[in-house]
Structures are given as structure tokens and as C-alpha cells.
Amino acid sequence: FDSVPVEKFSLKEVLITFQSCLTDSQEIVTDSYVNGWRGLVRFMNSLGSIFSFISKDAVNKIQIMVTHRNGENGDKYETLQSMVKYELDNNLVDLQRRAEHPESGCRTLLRLHRALRWLELFLEKLRTSTEDSKTSVMCTDAYNDSLAQHHAWIIRKAATMAFCALPGRAAFFQTMNVGSTEQVVAMLGEAMPFISKVYEITEELYKQHNLLELP
Ligand code: 1PZ
């Protein structure tokens, strides 16, 4: 049967996935990180097909990471830390321009990492927003302060146009499926520190190895 009902899900579960990314030794578990992204893509798809060009790219990057994990050396990709070490030690990263390794784990994950910064900024704006705040403006501001600087003009243009199609704040909160506005704000307050932590640790890892500008 093709009429399986689309199961309602809550953004809370998605954001909590990022909490489970962190090991006791502050490493980031690749599978949990990727699962967090799967959930975000599902959420984005529920916002409408105008965002599908964005989710297609995210799905593509998720798939690249899954392929690394399922590959012969999948165990080397268990955490982001082990991935960076393995790929650098074995010259599996294109450092100057995309050439032999256009789909390295390092460069692919960097794109998701930058997008996580957008998410962090956007959710923080949502959390502290008021009734008359516009989601499209919050989204655009978060984008301009993060991802936009890494995107070509044409992508910035398309993204900014898509943001205008975002539902208003009240409807957006409903889509999150967390409950009342107060509950959404409380949930964001709980979940944000984990997203920030995951972002910070990844940023530091990439900075240490000079990987923040990978082509
Ligand atoms: C809630 C509304 C969703 C807003 C999403 C905000 C992000 C806009 C990103 C626009 C991406 C456009 C498509 C393709 C971009 C790619 O060129 C880049 C660079 O990859 P490369 O070309 O170097 O391989 N891809 C990215 O920057 C990754 C973008 C992932 C976006 C995931 C958004 C997740 C949204 C979660 C919603 C809660």
C-alpha cells in the first residue's frame, strides 16, 4: 500500500538527536550527527516543496556520509575526530581544489557544519522572537550571518526567495509540533546548548587541522 500516513513528529526529537552525538570524551558520533540531519530534512520537507532544492542537497550530503560509514573503512568514520585523522593521514582530502577526492567526508561534513551554524542562529532568533517577528526575516538574517558567505550569488538568490515562502511564526511553531509557544520556547532553551556544543567542537576540530575552507 502506498497510503501509509505521514507520521507526525516533533522537532524536539530531532534536536535531541544532537544531544546523543557527544561521547564522554567529547567526540562527535557520525551516525547520530547524520541522524540529526535526517530529522531536520524531514522537518524541512514538511514545510513545502519550495524547499526541496535545499533538502536535496542536504540528502545528497547525508548519503555521502552514509556511504563512507558503510564502506570498507567505515569504522574509521565512527566519529568526526577519527574521520578527520583517517582522511588526512591517508591523503583523502582535496585541500586546494576539488580533484581526486571531491566527496571526502571532511569537505562534505563541513557543508553540514556550516548549515548547523545557520540552524543555531535561526533557532535562537525564534526562541527570543515576539509575536510580530517574521520568520522569513529571522531566517534571512541567520543565513546572511552564516551560510550566505559560502554560497554563490545564484544560490543566495534562490535561498532568499525560498525563505519568503516560510509560514508565519505561529504556523511555524505549530509545524514544530511541540505544543504551545511557551513549550516551544522552553524546548529550544533546552536543546540549543547541545547544538551549540556540537557546533563548537566541530569548529575547533576543523580549525586545528586548518580545514575550515575546504573546497
Ligand atoms: C526552514 C527553512 C529552511 C532554510 C534552510 C537554510 C539553508 C539554505 C541553504 C541553501 C542551500 C542551497 C542548495 C545547495 C547548496 C550547496 O551548493 C551548498 C554547498 O555545497 P557544495 O556545492 O560545496 O557541495 N550546500 C550547503 O551549503 C549545505 C546546505 C544544507 C542545508 C540544510 C538545511 C537544513 C534545514 C533544516 C530546517 C530546520
- Binning pLDDT at 50, 70 and 90, where does residue 2 land? low
Question: Domain 11-208: which topology?
Answer: Glycolipid transfer protein, GLTP (1.10.3520)
- Binning pLDDT at 50, 70 and 90, where does residue 56 land? very high
ipTM > 0.90 (yes/no): yes
Whether 127 shows a pLDDT value over 60: the answer reads: yes
- Binning pLDDT at 50, 70 and 90, where does residue 10 land? confident
Domain boundaries, the chain: 11-208
Q: What is the pLDDT of residues 142-199, one digit of tens each?
A: 999 999 999 999 999 999 999 999 999 999 999 999 999 999 999 999 999 999 999 9
Which residues form ligand 1's pocket by a CB distance below 6 Å?
A: 40, 43-44, 47, 51, 53-54, 57-58, 111, 114-115, 118-119, 139, 143, 147, 155, 159, 166
CA of 1 to the centre of ligand 1 (A): 33
Residue 137: per-residue pLDDT? 98
In sequence order, what DSSP letters do the residues of the chain get, joined into one string?
---PPPPP--HHHHHHHHHTTB-TTS-BBHHHHHHHHHHHHHHHHTT-GGGHHHHHHHHHHHHHHHHHHHSTTGGGGSBHHHHHHHHHHTT-S-SSSSSS-TT-HHHHHHHHHHHHHHHHHHHHHHHT--TT--HHHHHHHHHHTTGGGGS-HHHHHHHHHHHTTSPPHHHHHHHHTS-SHHHHHHHHHHHHHHHHHHHHHHHHHHHHTT-TT--
Minimum-distance ligand 1 atom for the alpha carbon of 56: 13
Q: What is the pLDDT of residues 72-88, one digit of tens each?
A: 999 999 999 999 999 99
